[in-house]
Amino acid sequence: MTTDGPTSGFPSAARTTDSEFDTVVIGGGITGMCVSWFLAQEGAAVVCVDDGGNAGSGANAGSLHVQMQSRVLRLFPQRMPDYEKTVAIYPRAVDFWQRLAAELGEDIDLRIGGGLMIAQSDAEVRLLQRKCAAETRNGVDSAFIGASELLSIAPYLHSGVRGAVYCAAEGQLNPLLANAVIRRRLRRSGAQLRERETVLRIDRDARAYRVILAGGEIRAGRVVIAAGAGSGPIAATLGLRLPTRAEPLHMNVTEATTPFLDGLLQHAAQPITVKQLHSGQVLVGGGWPARASGAAPVPEILRASLTGNLRLAQALVPRLAGLQVLRCWAGVNPTIDLLSVLGEVTSLPGVFIAVPGDAGYTLGPYCARLLVDSMYGRRPDFPLENFSPMRFGDRP
Ligand SMILES: Cc1cc2nc3c(=O)[nH]c(=O)nc-3n(C[C@H](O)[C@H](O)[C@H](O)COP(=O)(O)OP(=O)(O)OC[C@H]3O[C@@H](n4cnc5c(N)ncnc54)[C@H](O)[C@@H]3O)c2cc1C
């Protein structure tokens, strides 16, 4: 990989035509929209290009996660040491969402109702106690509670529960509302949003990066790659290794019922999340797979995921058995090595990566803030050393 890239770029707000900008942001999910909005607030001439794919930002469950996810404990035990070290980013990210919601001044159904991760066996109790200790060591406020206290605060649970980790900082919001409000803010800030345009590759000449679209090109001094699972292939066109993957996932929502659930429920060893929306509907998910269907943008629902996910939800919260499922859907979760990738590519000055780690909707706006602060020479509110884009090596 060569190290010479365009160093000057276009000066701030120096756009002269519709194909020259100070910064191109690739990807208009929650991360790319926030990066574009924050850059425009700095006075930069920004264009955000999005292909309108079926991305996580439009399909996610809106849980604001803080405690360490059980799917991480189950599926990636080898990544735990690095994940633990950076887990304090999650309460900061939820705090940032709360401040953002206040600044937006429009309803996005944000509620911090706390979260429970349930154990149903002795082994799960031990796992949760270890997890809780690791969280406390690493700056996340959580507490283990026994079965009788758990059933007194969550009487809707199956009586066989043995205990839980409670984390008061967890919450939820409505991503469809949040996306719409942030998209309006982005447009009002002066940033341009080009939807349904696909970035094919990035080239460069002595003066600027050339972002090549299906029908044209945009030149800019800075490029931010915030394209979720699409980030890896785009980075590869610059010779940069960024191992993003697309993970198709399944979600369900029931008819409305009387309010009974304030917070977020998860299980220590099973793929399940349950929460209740303002409307009274219950959202059931937890990472059950859908199937990518060739070139079709929407993943296919798997019957086994539908029945398995709902069966598990009913076993944990028996009253769900009386509710009809109204709708299920699938979307693409972008994954990487669990940790966010944030910062400038040192070998390609002017190229920045903004890919949030696990639970990326929780992290998206805060990651955008951290990146934009670092781009303007301000000390980010959270250390970025563990999130370097260079950690994967330099071969695509
Ligand atoms: C079913 C489901 C439930 C989830 N639930 C939660 C949850 O409860 N809480 C949570 O925190 N996270 C959740 N997630 C994860 C979360 O949705 C993602 O991590 C998050 O949306 C990532 O945001 P992003 O903006 O970084 O990427 P994305 O949302 O993937 O956005 C990237 C954008 O870039 C576009 N793009 C890609 N390639 C190109 C290209 N070549 N040219 C132009 N545009 C391109 C894509 O179409 C997309 O619009 C869930 C995900 C799924 C699928």
Nearest-atom index, ligand 1, CA of 62: 8
Nearest-atom index, ligand 1, CA of 361: 11
Name the nearest CA neighbour of 290 among 332, 261, 321: 332
Q: Measuring from atom 46 of ligand 1, which residue has the nearest CA?
A: 53
Q: Which residues approach ligand 1 with their CB closer than 6 A?
A: 26-32, 49-51, 53, 55-57, 59-63, 65, 198-199, 226-230, 234, 249, 251, 285, 331-334, 355-356, 359-362, 364
Nearest-atom index, ligand 1, CA of 331: 53
- State the distance from the centre of ligand 1 to the C-alpha of 113, rounded, in angstroms: 24
Cβ 192 vs Cβ 178: under 8 Å: no
- State the distance from the centre of ligand 1 to the C-alpha of 341, rounded, in angstroms: 14
Q: Measuring from atom 47 of ligand 1, which residue has the nearest CA?
A: 53
- State the distance from the centre of ligand 1 to the C-alpha of 205, rounded, in angstroms: 31
Name the nearest CA neighbour of 34 among 354, 350, 349: 354
Mutate to test the pocket of ligand 1, among 25, 35, 57 (most ligand atoms within 8 A of CB): 57
Tell me the CA distances in angstroms from 92 to 84, 88, 169, 284, one per residue in order.
Answer: 15, 7, 10, 26
Q: What is the pTM of this model?
A: 0.95
- State the distance from the centre of ligand 1 to the C-alpha of 288, rounded, in angstroms: 16
pLDDT tens, position by position, 312-369: 999 999 999 999 999 999 999 999 999 999 999 999 999 999 999 999 999 999 999 9
Q: Measuring from atom 18 of ligand 1, which residue has the nearest CA?
A: 360
d(CA 300, CA 284) in angstroms, rounded, equals 17
Domain boundaries, the chain: 20-57+176-244+337-392, 113-169+246-334
pLDDT tens, position by position, 160-212: 999 999 999 999 999 999 999 999 999 999 999 999 999 999 999 988 999 99
User: Percent of the chain scored above 70 by pLDDT?
Assistant: 94
For residue 13, pLDDT over 80 is answered with no
Q: Which CATH architecture has domain 113-169+246-334?
A: 2-Layer Sandwich (3.30)
Q: What is the mean pLDDT of residues 25-46?
A: 98
Q: Over the range 88-100, which residues count as b (16 or more CB within 10 Å of their CB) and which as e?
A: bbbbbbbbbbeeb
Query: What values do phi and psi take at 286, rounded to 5?
Result: 130, 15
Instruction: Dig out the tokens for 279 from the structure.
Output: 């409307």
Nearest-atom index, ligand 1, CA of 31: 25
Homologous superfamily (CATH) of 20-57+176-244+337-392 is FAD/NAD(P)-binding domain (3.50.50.60)
pLDDT tens, position by position, 232-257: 999 999 999 999 999 999 999 999 99
